[in-house]
Amino acid sequence: MKQVRVRFAPSPTGPLHIGGVRTALYNYLFARKNGGTFILRIEDTDQARYVEGAEEYIMESLEWCGIVVDEGIREGGNFGPYRQSDKKAIFRQYADILVDKGDAYYAFDTPGQLESLRSEAEKAGKTFIYNAEKRDGMSNSLSLPEAEWRDKLDKGEPYVIRYKMPANEDISFEDLIRGQIVVNSSTLDDKVLFKSDGMPTYHLAHIVDDKIMEISHVIRGEEWLPSLPLHIMLYRSFGWDPPAFAHLPLLLKPDGKGKLSKRDGDKMGFPVFPLFWPYGDTAKGYREDGYFPDAFINMLALLGWNPGTEQEIFSMDELINSFSIDRVGKSGSRFDPEKARWFNHQYLQHRSNTELALEFRDLLRTRGYHDDIVKLEKLVALVKERVSFVKDIWTQTDFFFKAPDTYDQDAVKKRWKDDSPKLLMELKLLLTDILDFSASSAEKAINEWTIKNGYNTGAIMNAFRLVIVGSLRGPHLFDIIGWIGKEETLKRIDKGITVLSKY
Ligand code: GLU
């Protein structure tokens, strides 16, 4: 195989969809697996769709995911510029080469004229296609006398450069995922290669850039497959060998019906972007939702590629070792938000208590609470198995930090009895006298007291839990009171009795 050089080439038109992150990931894995180079190229030649902030967002997303760029705007490299708008003039030279060869031509038809031809055709139930059949009737350098079109150029009339697609030719090419494909050129139109605003279109720009950057493999989304015959023709016209192509299957909505779109996330309550997008319509991000980047990447890697084994948990290094294009499927992969959470749960179980305690401490600080790491580690250990996100540690342990503001109505109805205040008052006296207020000594004292008085342990413990936690949830109650300490325990008993006796 020749030196592997692959590129991820997003257009900065908004936040990067997770489908785009997956494309970047597969390119990255392929590059690393084959000792190649991973390039980030910004394709910003469509000025109408350019969105401020998107370029930064793309770079930050890749960084968060652990996808390391070898050559790009920030990293530099010998094949730049890595932003297409920085080399407009270069693209123009290549458009001219095709015009000079007779494989492309100037077209002067105005947007208004094209629009009315399109709507006329539509009324007749047809589609207007600017192609070999139609081009003679249009206003271009193939249909007009030379003097006339040269005059238009001299006068500065707006024009575009179109590719002259042959009338009836079988174009055959190979896709690494889909195999051999043959398309007849009669189904294709004379695509615009260079626009009247002085910018190349994607079709021309990416071919030229892939050539300049010595790209060996183009790995991109399936939506580009219909354009591939045109791209193959462009390679032929330039006399260049095309790179190898691999078109990745779509990411589908959770119900499998259609492509996962940018709007699906906010509609269905899960993120479709790696990071929160702060401009325009707000959109959730995996990072802000509390996903670990390695869990997110692991989940994404398996949406379209399968390792051929039962293994599901892969570190980035393991993905690099196992990845191959042969194991990328042809059919779309259904995105499963539950499975995404499952991955995060698995990764959280493998994080050390210290790591989790450190992250949890940051979250606590934002809520105005703090505690030392050793104590937080113990807390993490108590609830770890039950949580999928660091933020869940808070919902599972909030009562360690603050007295309940409200009490669970159902639990109160079921578990708060007429004699509960009396029993808890007695319990309070007992706890007041305990000198060493640890979980185990409090437990021992309470047990002895219940047995001695012939009390019902269940009834006491339920009422006790209600005043301490506010509901019947949470870990072992003695662990909770051992943590919050005597003073706080006594305060919560008082508060609980006062509030619940009024119910
Ligand atoms: N700029 C194109 C996109 O954003 C890149 C397609 C390609 O990789 O060739 O989808």
Centroid of ligand 1 to alpha carbon of 258 (angstroms): 20
259 three-state secondary structure: strand
| pLDDT score recorded for residue 501 | 86
pLDDT tops 80 at residue 126: yes
Active site residue 262: yes
222: Cβ contacts below 8 Å, ≥ 6 apart = 247, 248, 249, 250
Q: Which of 6, 28, 30, 43 has the most ligand 1 atoms within 8 A of CB, as the residue to mutate? A: 43
Cis omega (within 30 of 0) on the bond before 278? Answer: no
CA distance 385 to 272: 27
The chain-wide mean pLDDT, for the chain, equals 95
Annotated catalytic residue, options 88, 134, 262, 384:
262
User: Which residue in this structure is represented by tokens 């539509």?
Assistant: 122
Task: Sort strands 333-334 and 251-252 into parallel, antiparallel or unpaired.
Answer: parallel
Q: Where are the domains of the chain?
A: 351-401, 409-500
Nearest CA to ligand 1 atom 3: 10
pLDDT tops 90 at residue 48: no
454-473 pLDDT, tens digit each = 999 999 999 999 999 999 99
User: Which residue in this structure is represented by tokens 């709507």?
Assistant: 119
| pLDDT score recorded for residue 405 | 92
Centroid of ligand 1 to alpha carbon of 10 (angstroms): 5
Q: 219 and 39 in contact (C-beta within 8 Å)?
A: no
Centroid of ligand 1 to alpha carbon of 213 (angstroms): 15
Which ligand 1 atom is at minimum distance from the Cα of 219? 8
Pocket of ligand 1, beta carbon within 6 A: 9-11, 43, 202, 206, 220, 224
The CATH number, out of the four listed (1.10.3470, 3.30.40, 1.20.140, 1.10.8), of the domain defined by the range 351-401: 1.10.8
Nearest CA to ligand 1 atom 10: 10
Q: How far is CA 347 from the centre of its chain?
A: 17
DSSP 4: P
pLDDT class of 100 with cuts at 50, 70, 90: very high
| pLDDT score recorded for residue 502 | 78
134-148 pLDDT, tens digit each = 999 999 999 999 999
Same fold, 351-401 and 409-500: no
Centroid of ligand 1 to alpha carbon of 220 (angstroms): 7
Which ligand 1 atom is at minimum distance from the Cα of 210? 9
| pLDDT score recorded for residue 263 | 84
Distance linking the first and last C-alpha atoms of the chain: 77
Please report which helix (H) or strand (E) contains residue 217, including its range. strand 217-221
| pLDDT score recorded for residue 460 | 95
129 three-state secondary structure: coil
User: How confident is the model over 32-54, as a mean pLDDT?
Assistant: 94
User: How confident is the model over 122-137, as a mean pLDDT?
Assistant: 95
| pLDDT score recorded for residue 394 | 96
Centroid of ligand 1 to alpha carbon of 9 (angstroms): 5
User: How confident is the model over 218-237, as a mean pLDDT?
Assistant: 97
Nearest CA to ligand 1 atom 4: 10
Cβ atoms < 10 Å from Cβ of 471? 18
Q: Which of 206, 222, 230, 231 has the most ligand 1 atoms within 8 A of CB, as the residue to mutate? A: 206
User: How confident is the model over 253-258, as a mean pLDDT?
Assistant: 93
Please name which of 64, 140, 120 lies closest in space to residue 316, comparing C-alpha atoms. 64
Burial 374-409 (b: 16+ CB within 10 A, else e): eebbebbebbbeebbbbebbbebbbbbbeebeebbe
Q: Which of 8, 202, 218, 223 has the most ligand 1 atoms within 8 A of CB, as the residue to mutate? A: 202
243-252 pLDDT, tens digit each = 999 999 999 9
User: What is the DSSP annotation of 87-102?
Assistant: GHHHHHHHHHHHHHHT
User: What is the DSSP annotation of 321-367?
Assistant: HH--GGGB-SS-EE--HHHHHHHHHHHHHHS-HHHHHHHHHHHHHHT
pLDDT tops 90 at residue 91: yes
CA dist 207 to 5, 18, 313, 331, 404, Å?
A: 14, 25, 37, 26, 63
Centroid of ligand 1 to alpha carbon of 331 (angstroms): 20
Q: 183 and 194 in contact (C-beta within 8 Å)?
A: no
| pLDDT score recorded for residue 212 | 97
The CATH number, out of the four listed (1.10.3210.10, 1.10.10.350, 1.10.10.60, 1.20.1270.10), of the domain defined by the range 409-500: 1.10.10.350
395-428 pLDDT, tens digit each = 999 999 999 999 999 999 999 999 999 999 999 9
| pLDDT score recorded for residue 418 | 93
Cβ atoms < 10 Å from Cβ of 6? 29
Single-letter residue type at 359: E
- Which two structure tokens, joined as six digits, stand for 396? 């599972």
DSSP 346: H
Mutual angle of helices 293-301 and 54-65, in 10-degree steps: 90
